Every structure is written in C-alpha cells, then in structure tokens.
Amino acid sequence: MQKRAPSDPFSKAAETTARASYGRLVALLASRTRDIAGAEDALSEAFTAALRVWPKTGVPDNPEAWLIVAARRSLGHDARRRRVREAAAGAVEIIYEEYAERMPVPFPDERLKLLFVCAHPAIEPNIRTPLMLQTVLGLDAVRIAAAYVTPPAAMSQRLVRAKSKIRDAGLRFETPDQETLPARLTDVLNAIYGAYGVGWDDVNQSDGDLAAEAIFLGRLVVSLLPGAAEAKGLLALMLYCEARRSARRTIDGGFIPLSEQDPRLWSRDMIMEAEQLLIQAAHTATFGRFQCEAAIQSVHVQRPLTGRSNWQAIVQLYDLLAERAPSLGVLVGRAAAYGHSGDPASGLAQLDAAADERIANYQPFWATRAHLLDLLGRSADAAVARSKAISLAADSAVRDYLARGGSG
C-alpha cells in the first residue's frame, strides 16, 4: 500500500476517530465478542482497511459506524477467530456465565462494565488501573506513564507483562455481580480520575473530550453504586475542576493560575452540584482520598464569597491527605499550600523530603520548588528550578507563564 503523509485528510480522520473513540469502539466490540484482545485486533484491522478504502470512497459521514461494521466483519471470519484463540495476544477474555446472562448487573454503559471486569483480583493491583486506561479508555503507554510519573518504557513493559500473564494463565473473567462491585470500585475510580487528569491537561483536546467522558463515567458509577461515598467524592472533585475550565486561559490562550482566575467565569451550576455531592459523601463520616481532594477544591471555590483563599484550611486538608493517602502529587500540593499559607520554609523542607527518582521529570515539583525558593528570597536557586520546570512543561502557555516569573 502506498504510504501517505500523516497530514492527508484520510489519515487525519482515522487518527481523530481513534483518539476520540478508541475505548468506546473496543467496548462496543467486546460487548458482543467477549474478547477484548480480539476486539482490539479487529479494530486495528478496521483502521488499516479505512486507510485503504477511504481515499477511494471518501471519509464516511459516520467513521465510527464504518469502523464498527468493518471490525465486526473481521471478527466474523472463522480463521480470524481461530488465530485470536490461539495467539490471544494481550488477552483479557470476558466470559459471561449463564447466571450473569439471566441476572446481569444493570451496567448503564459497556465501558463501565469493562472497567469493573478489568479490576479482577487475579490481576496485580498496581497494574489494574493502567490496564483499564489502555484497554478500555484507549490511552497509550506514554500518557499513562506521565500520569504515574513513570518512564514510558517501564510502563509499556509492565503492561506487556501483565497481558502476557493474563494470556499464559488463561484467566477467564465473568461480569462481576452486585456484591463484587464495591471491592473493585477503587481501581475503577482511579482509572476514571486518571482519564480525567489526561483530559484536563489536554488543552487542545487531542484525545477528544476525555475529561467529559470521565465525568460521564463518574456519573454512571454514582448511579450504579449510590451508597459509595468515594464515587460521589470523585465526581465532586472532577466537577469542581471542570467548573473552572473557561477561566484557565486568556482569550489568546495564555495560562491563568487558580489564584488569578476570575471567579465570575466559573460554572455556578457545576460548583453547586459538586457541593451537594460532597455533603452527601460526608454523611458517611469516613475518610476517602477523593472526598478529601474535593474538600480542598471546595475551599478554593469559597474565594468569591470570602474574598480570599483559606490556606490554613487547605493546609489541614493536605496534611490529612498526606497522612492517609500520600502520593508525589499530594506531597507537592501540600508543599505549595504551606508556601501560600505563609510558611515557605516548611513547604520547601517537605518538598525535599518527598524527593526521589520520580522528580527528575515531574514538572509540578520544580515549578513548586521555584515558587518556594522565590518566597524565601533565594532567587538564584529559584531560577535553576524554574528553568527545569520550563524544560519539562509540555504546554507552551505554561512555559511562557513560568518564563515571565509566574509561580507554581
């Protein structure tokens, strides 16, 4: 087949569809075939066929429908089914038991069902969420690695090893019943939040509106498990963040930090919904990571009412979060909060204590370090940290903001 430049309209149409709809298409195919590996292979063949056919016939009005038909035709061939069974590359085979067919959990969306299926206890805990992000939500290893502050090659190897173990062990997974769902919930929520984080950082929406997809899935989880406080906490957290989307950029695309955003541009409806969800979750009187992070965002959105940010309350919430659910992102966020609260020395000490091999490519660490050093009057050291932060920033608007002396 003759190679075409990536800029041709047919390749562009295929790439756009893959970015926006890959996870959804795999879910639709797997819901019929019950074989995620086979669905991925068939969809790959469908994309190859599209690049061969579309230049002759034109891009169809509904590329997704065209790809689904082509992929299902591929899955229908006996020889293809035989190769999938024998090779089962990257296999996560979904087998529905007879009782599940008769009394299925009322999953409102096939992707959500597959997320719970991929949270199977036989899969190692540290790879479940990355596996969901790749297999169901369509993210590649590079973007997953960035979310986990892990080198892309290492993440790719972990995913390959996980799929190989699944294949070699011949693991067979059934649709989880209602009693099984709570035990798998944390992994599913982590995957949804991971997808939202990628969508939040993707200003140009090159992956389609992944943030909106994550919020949609978050709503479905709440409807599926209305008593799960952490599901409500996650949905509230995403809504608080999403409420500020229109205030994040200037008209010409410049970056605006939270402290400088115009609250009049925030979505009042989203904030009110998030507040109600957080109140409902709080009735359980149990700690939850997502509830705590949502509470931090709740304090931030009080600024229009009080005229200032209550950094002492934010520090207390970050202290609780760092104690109960520490992560590099949480520890960096806490250090920044200490700086804003008037104690940059403590913030810098916490930042130094959190430093490990992951910080080498973790841009928020260096941006926060530059800000804290500025507050301490150590301008030369701050310049070094800011230069590192600029070099790691993927967003040109953030690079420009930092180059102008903006704080982390």
Q: Average per-residue pLDDT in the chain?
A: 83
The pLDDT score that the predictor gives to residue 231 is 97
The pTM (predicted TM-score) of the whole model is: 0.75
The pLDDT score that the predictor gives to residue 285 is 82
pLDDT > 60? residue 2: no
Higher pLDDT among residues 42 and 264, named by residue? 264
Q: Residues 174-189: what's their mean pLDDT?
A: 86
Weakest mean pLDDT among 15-19, 24-28, 245-249, 352-356: 24-28
The pLDDT score that the predictor gives to residue 20 is 67
The pLDDT score that the predictor gives to residue 191 is 94
Ramachandran angles phi, psi of 111, nearest 5° = -65, -40
Higher pLDDT among residues 177 and 341, named by residue? 341
pLDDT > 50? residue 102: no
Q: Residues 303-330: what's their mean pLDDT?
A: 92
CA dist 18 and 208 (Å) reads: 9
Strand partners, 343: none
The pLDDT score that the predictor gives to residue 234 is 97
pLDDT > 60? residue 19: yes
pLDDT > 50? residue 3: no
What is the residue type of 277?
A: L
Residue 18: other Cβ atoms inside 10 A = 19
Q: Which residues of 234-266 are buried (b: 16+ CB within 10 A; e: fewer)?
A: bbbbbbbbbbbeebbeeeeeebbeeeebebeeb
